[in-house]
């Protein structure tokens, strides 16, 4: 054998050795899948078995093909029996597909999507200043009995505030407070008059409190609301209710949420017009099929080919495994992107408040789980406030499980709202007396 042939042979052997190593690595990943990727289902599942089998098969075949004579025999056999091999492979795939069907395995993508599923409602609008209700249309819906209770507490500007927003004259010396945030600040699940914002209004009757919170929104929405309303209302204090899912909401545009009617049940739904795929890309949704994909906890298909593959059981196995691996690998990078966007929005809000002569206070809103174990997100939020030198109120030690609704709803109940309202009212009284938040309980100032 000449030197060139010897070199080629050595390269081929090395390549097959590398493939054998890859096969072993794949098998190990399959065995340790539950430990490496916490989002997978516990127990040795069928995807894991297939992964281990594929890895061992790749390793075994690669080791055999390192030998030149066996490689020639194998390639010769393949050339002679290529049609037979393809038919056997196709037959095996079809059998596996039917086995998975018999086992009741669901597909990655839904197999049927109706032509029309939702209809946008007339009482919801979004633009560059954020999302809010259309007063006249919501009043009609409330008069017709579609809504009742807090949902019908809305002012003419479209916010869930009992009073209309009126432009403040330059000579007005009233205590003016602008509330920003999401469903917690909007008062969801609190009795009318007992939300934390309404508690502040009751305890500070000489103050003017404007509530611009909209459920399901993030810091980017609060920034847009402040930019549009602060020049007219001239608040002395801006208070942002920051819930930990703001990190997620800040990745998508401020008009992400759309209120719609479910045409099958005639129920009202809030759905998102955008989602973030496993790679961190923001994608615009086909709204008529969004809920069907959401039920399968997947993003809409990027192409028709992917949709077809995801409607088979074998293809679904591959796609789910890809999601688990990509989700684990990209988890930190995706969260870092959310943190960076949130940092930027907080910095802009702080600068806008300073420009308008308003003091900014961020009130952190802990999930019930944080009462026993402070999450990474909660700690990250505190770090951001310290880094940006933004005063923040941390009510964690003031809350207990009895302040949250029982069941799957994560909001405060009326008692929880009132507890936070009392804490915030005392802080605001201290601010108006001293001119800063330094004396507030549970507040850290720059």
Closest listed residue to residue 260, CA positions, set 285, 237, 236, 233: 285
Are residues 348 and 437 both part of a single domain? Answer: yes
CB 274 within 8 A of CB 284: yes
Are residues 11 and 77 both part of a single domain? Answer: yes
Of 43, 71, 102, the last residue of a domain is: 102
pLDDT of the residue at 42: 47
Which tops the pLDDT comparison, 50 or 167?
Answer: 167
For the stretch 357-380, pLDDT in tens is: 999 999 999 999 999 899 999 999
Model confidence at 39: pLDDT above 60: no
Are residues 79 and 127 both part of a single domain? Answer: no
- Let me know if residue 311 belongs to a domain: no
Name the burial class of residue 71, with classes exposed (0-12), middle (13-18) and buried (19+) by CB atoms within 10 angstroms of its CB.
middle
Count other Cβ atoms within 10 Å, centred on residue 253.
15
pLDDT of the residue at 269: 78
Model confidence at 245: pLDDT above 90: yes
- Let me know if residue 158 belongs to a domain: yes
Count other Cβ atoms within 10 Å, centred on residue 234.
18
Are residues 84 and 146 both part of a single domain? Answer: no
Of 78, 102, 126, the last residue of a domain is: 102
- What whole-number distance in Å separates Cα of residue 159 and Cα of residue 137? 13
Are residues 374 and 246 both part of a single domain? Answer: yes
- Let me know if residue 260 belongs to a domain: no
- Let me know if residue 176 belongs to a domain: yes
CA distance between the termini of the chain: 77
- Let me know if residue 262 belongs to a domain: no
- Let me know if residue 52 belongs to a domain: yes
pLDDT of the residue at 38: 46
Of the CA atoms within 13 Å of residue 28, those in its CB half-sphere come to: 7
Residue 236's contacts (CB-CB under 8 Å, 6 or more residues apart) are: 175, 176, 177, 357, 358, 359
For the stretch 275-301, pLDDT in tens is: 777 677 787 777 666 656 665 666 667
User: Binning pLDDT at 50, 70 and 90, where does residue 262 land?
Assistant: confident
pLDDT of the residue at 217: 92
**For the chain, what is the mean pLDDT?**
84
Are residues 239 and 367 both part of a single domain? Answer: yes
Are residues 166 and 229 both part of a single domain? Answer: yes
Tokens found for residue 38: 């916490």
Of 48, 70, 102, the last residue of a domain is: 102
- Let me know if residue 387 belongs to a domain: yes
For the stretch 21-32, pLDDT in tens is: 777 877 777 777
Residue 33's contacts (CB-CB under 8 Å, 6 or more residues apart) are: 40, 47, 48, 51, 324
Are residues 97 and 236 both part of a single domain? Answer: no
- What whole-number distance in Å separates Cα of residue 251 and Cα of residue 271? 16
The pTM is what? 0.76
Structural domains of the chain, count: 2
Cross-strand pairs, 404: 412
Which range marks the domain in which residue 221 is found? 118-252+334-444
- Let me know if residue 128 belongs to a domain: yes
Are residues 173 and 36 both part of a single domain? Answer: no
Q: What is the CATH number of the domain that holds 439?
A: 3.40.50.1110
Are residues 174 and 68 both part of a single domain? Answer: no
Are residues 169 and 23 both part of a single domain? Answer: no
- What whole-number distance in Å separates Cα of residue 313 and Cα of residue 311? 7
pLDDT of the residue at 46: 62
Are residues 364 and 232 both part of a single domain? Answer: yes
Which tops the pLDDT comparison, 157 or 63?
Answer: 157
């Amino acid at each position: 054998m000449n030197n060139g042939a010897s070199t080629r042979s050595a390269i081929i052997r090395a390549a097959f050795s590398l493939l054998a190593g890859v096969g072993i690595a794949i098998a190990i990943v399959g065995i340790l899948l539950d430990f490496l990727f916490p989002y997978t289902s516990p127990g040795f599942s069928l995807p894991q078995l297939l992964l281990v089998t594929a890895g061992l098969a790749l390793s075994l075949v690669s080791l055999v093909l390192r030998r030149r004579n066996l490689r020639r025999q194998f390639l010769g056999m393949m050339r002679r029996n290529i049609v037979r091999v393809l038919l056997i492979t196709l037959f095996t795939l079809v059998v596996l597909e039917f086995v998975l069907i018999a086992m009741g395995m669901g597909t990655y993508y839904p197999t049927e999507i109706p032509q029309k599923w939702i209809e946008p409602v007339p009482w919801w609008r979004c633009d560059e200043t954020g999302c809010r209700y259309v007063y006249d249309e919501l009043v009609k819906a409330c008069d017709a009995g579609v809504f009742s209770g807090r949902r019908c507490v809305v002012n003419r500007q479209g916010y869930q505030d009992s009073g209309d927003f009126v432009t403040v004259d330059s000579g007005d010396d009233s205590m003016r407070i602008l509330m920003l945030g999401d469903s917690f600040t909007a008062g969801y699940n609190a009795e009318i008059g007992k939300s934390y914002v309404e508690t502040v209004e009751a305890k500070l009757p000489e103050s003017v409190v404007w509530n611009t919170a909209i459920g399901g929104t993030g810091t980017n929405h609060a920034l847009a609301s402040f930019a549009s309303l602060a020049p007219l209302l001239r608040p002395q204090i801006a208070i942002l209710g920051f819930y930990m899912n703001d990190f997620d909401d800040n990745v998508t545009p401020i008009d992400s949420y759309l209120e719609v009617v479910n045409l099958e049940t005639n129920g009202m739904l809030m759905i998102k017009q955008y989602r973030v795929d496993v790679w961190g890309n923001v994608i615009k949704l086909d709204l008529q099929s969004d809920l069907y994909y959401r039920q399968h906890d997947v993003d809409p298909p990027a192409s028709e080919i992917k949709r077809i593959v995801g409607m088979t059981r074998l293809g679904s196995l591959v796609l789910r495994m890809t999601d688990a691996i990509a989700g684990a690998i990209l988890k930190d990078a995706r969260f870092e992107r959310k943190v960076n966007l949130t940092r930027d929005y907080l910095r802009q809000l702080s600068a806008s408040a300073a420009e308008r002569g308003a003091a900014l206070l961020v009130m952190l809103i802990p999930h019930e789980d944080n009462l026993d174990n402070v999450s990474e997100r909660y700690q990250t939020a505190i770090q951001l406030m310290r880094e940006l030198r933004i005063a923040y109120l941390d009510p964690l030690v003031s809350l207990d499980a009895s302040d949250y609704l029982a069941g799957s709803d994560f909001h405060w109940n009326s008692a929880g709202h009132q507890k936070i309202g009392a804490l915030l009212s005392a802080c605001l009284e201290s601010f108006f007396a001293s001119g800063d938040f330094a004396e507030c309980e549970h507040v850290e100032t720059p």
